[in-house]
Amino acid sequence: MGETNPPPATAAAPPPPRIQAVGPLNVGAGAIHPPRDQLNYVEFCVHSNPSWVEVAALAFLHYLVTLGSIVMLSTLIVPLMGGNNGDKARVIQTFLFMSGVNTLLQTLIGTRLPTVMNASFAFIVPVMSIISDFSSRGYDDEHQRFLHTIRAIQGALIVSSFLNLLIGYGTVWGRFSRYFTPVVIVPVVCVVGLGLFEWGFPQVGKCVEIGLPMLILTVVVQQYMKGIHERVTFLFERYSLLLLIGIVWAFAAILTASGAYNNVPDKTKRHCRVDRSYLMSSAPWIKIPYPFQWGSPIFSASHSFGMMAAVLVSAVESTGAHFAAARLAGATPPPNHVLSRSVGLQGLGILLEGIFGAAAGSTASVANVGLIGLTRVGSRRVIQISTAYMIFFSIIGKFGAFFASIPLPIFAAIYCVLFGVVAAVGISFIQFTNNNSMRNLYIIGLSLFLGVSIPQYFNEYTASAGHGPAKSNAGWFNDILNTIFSSAPAVAMIVATLLDNTLDAKKTGSDRGLSWWIPFQRHGGEPRNDEFYSYPIRMHRWMFFNRYP
């Protein structure tokens, strides 16, 4: 056997044979689920419409979801203002009327997305500050205190609304949104849903025997009963919430009539009984909200500055909700100029709310955005028809009060699902970034955590001390800080935008998803944008706030 010479040291070793994976084992060869600009599960997108019967039914469901948030907020603040049941009924009517008007305006000349504008919990801090200010003054009766308090809220809303008008129609918000990337949008949209957790299961727990069955049935009927039959799947997907609200509401009425809540604490009665809202007996048959219905506004510089922070926070929350709505409704991400005109129109809506005497300002409703994902119908027409329900039932008070008497734990159970859907949509934006970049993971993780943790600290501090962590002699300054840092989306946007635009921003453009993102944000950069965001008539050629690139 002959001797073989070894290969020279410089010769390269032959490459190992490449193993070709087959079928589902092909994990490392590329993306199994490639990124999608638009979700393909949507059955009706922004400009496509189901039948009129479906439109009417889904519009009524959006009305009910809107009503639940309004009743929750009114039940919280009106008694603290000194208002009675009749005052609460009128506040609910005013909220509902303005929600219908502002939603119609937003879908016509705002973002044109299927988003509902509804009373915002972001205004709680400045409203509570005004309530505290007027509680220390002497009045002949509580109703007089209520009137003075809501007139002061009116004045603060009117003055502060000009901030959103300025930053919106002055294109400031559009220019600021140029600093957004998918890395920023992920935590902002996530906490738009997660930040409302206290209005979910904590409210369900106030009447577990009603709220928990509603939550379980919603998940089981909506998801696990799919596939039984094609027609059954369609009906449960579209209308199961309407059916379940009726069933659980009837169950609550049976428990009330049978005496199950006769010997329980008053707090349990308020949340479980169907006859403890007193709205049916207090609401007028017909009452049209009109300007300055509570009297002339009371203007105060300190109240106005505090309310400006809430108005700014509402713009942040609306921006996150609009991105979620666009994704769930099958639209492209809203461009900068659309976000700017949306915030400007939101300022006009808050001005109208101050004139008509609403007890808080408005923002894009997160619950209604989640409902788009749950029903798979993102039609703009559905939302516009829902405004007819809002305005009609705000004028015909007795009928509106009938639906407003649904126990709040039923709504809270639905919100557990709807808020969760919105939070999950925020996560979906991460597909357009480099998921393996430690820089991106660091920014998203820190923004998410601080977006939830900082507001929790501010809320717990306020609950224990009776005031926010910011406590100085300048009440307006306290309201600004306490309002901004009590908002999860505001904190997440501040942290994410700052970090994403300062940590190796120039070197990591592709990791941040800019190549995908920028065409959607530029005016005229993506042809599909006009399909969803153009005006019904060609107004943009002469409107100055659409002219910047």
- Which residues sit opposite 119 in a β-bridge? 362
By percentage, how much of the chain surpasses pLDDT 70?
Answer: 92
First to last CA, the chain: 80
At residue 8, the pLDDT reads 47
Q: What are phi and psi of 363, to 5 degrees?
A: -150, 175
Confidence of residue 536 (pLDDT cuts 50, 70, 90): confident
Structure confidence by residue, pLDDT tens digits, 453-480: 999 999 999 988 888 898 888 888 999 9
- Alpha helix positions (H), 198-335: 201-204, 208-219, 230-257, 266-272, 279-282, 301-328
Structure confidence by residue, pLDDT tens digits, 210-236: 999 999 999 998 888 877 777 777 788
2: left (phi over 0), alpha (psi -120 to 50) or beta: beta
Stretch 377-390: mean pLDDT = 96
Token duo for residue 439:
């820089």
Structure confidence by residue, pLDDT tens digits, 12-45: 445 444 434 344 444 445 557 778 877 778 889 9
At residue 224, the pLDDT reads 85
Above 60 in pLDDT, residue 90? Answer: yes
By the 10 Å C-beta count (0-12 exposed, 13-18 middle, 19+ buried), 444 is classed as buried
CA distance 239 to 232: 10
At residue 30, the pLDDT reads 54
By the 10 Å C-beta count (0-12 exposed, 13-18 middle, 19+ buried), 21 is classed as exposed
Q: What is the mean pLDDT of the chain?
A: 88
Strand, coil or helix: 45: coil
Backbone CA torsion sign across 464, 467, 470, 472:
negative
Above 90 in pLDDT, residue 493? Answer: yes
Structure confidence by residue, pLDDT tens digits, 36-88: 877 778 889 998 999 999 999 999 999 999 999 999 999 999 999 999 999 99
Looking at per-residue pLDDT, the higher value among 13 and 444 belongs to: 444
CA distance 293 to 354: 11
At residue 351, the pLDDT reads 97
Q: Is the CB of residue 337 less than 8 Å from the CB of residue 171?
A: yes
Q: Is the CB of residue 115 less than 8 Å from the CB of residue 383?
A: yes
Stretch 241-247: mean pLDDT = 93
- Residue 62: what residue type? H
Residues 6+ apart with CB under 8 A from 419: 193, 194, 196, 197, 199, 200, 366, 367, 370
Q: Provide the greatest CA pair distance for the chain.
A: 118
Strand, coil or helix: 359: coil
At residue 535, the pLDDT reads 83
Stretch 406-433: mean pLDDT = 94
At residue 465, the pLDDT reads 86
Stretch 263-291: mean pLDDT = 86
Looking at per-residue pLDDT, the higher value among 275 and 122 belongs to: 122
Residues 6+ apart with CB under 8 A from 271: 206, 207, 407, 408, 409
- Residue listed under structure tokens 């601080």: 450
At residue 31, the pLDDT reads 56
By percentage, how much of the chain surpasses pLDDT 90?
Answer: 67
Helix, strand counts (H, E) of the chain: 22, 2
Token duo for residue 425:
């949509």
At residue 467, the pLDDT reads 84
At residue 534, the pLDDT reads 86
At residue 548, the pLDDT reads 45
H/E stretch holding 409: helix 408-428
Confidence of residue 417 (pLDDT cuts 50, 70, 90): very high
Stretch 187-205: mean pLDDT = 93
- Which residues sit opposite 286 in a β-bridge? 396
Q: Please tell me the pTM assigned to this model.
A: 0.89
Above 50 in pLDDT, residue 240? Answer: yes
CA distance 468 to 227: 50
Strand, coil or helix: 362: strand
CA distance 475 to 255: 46
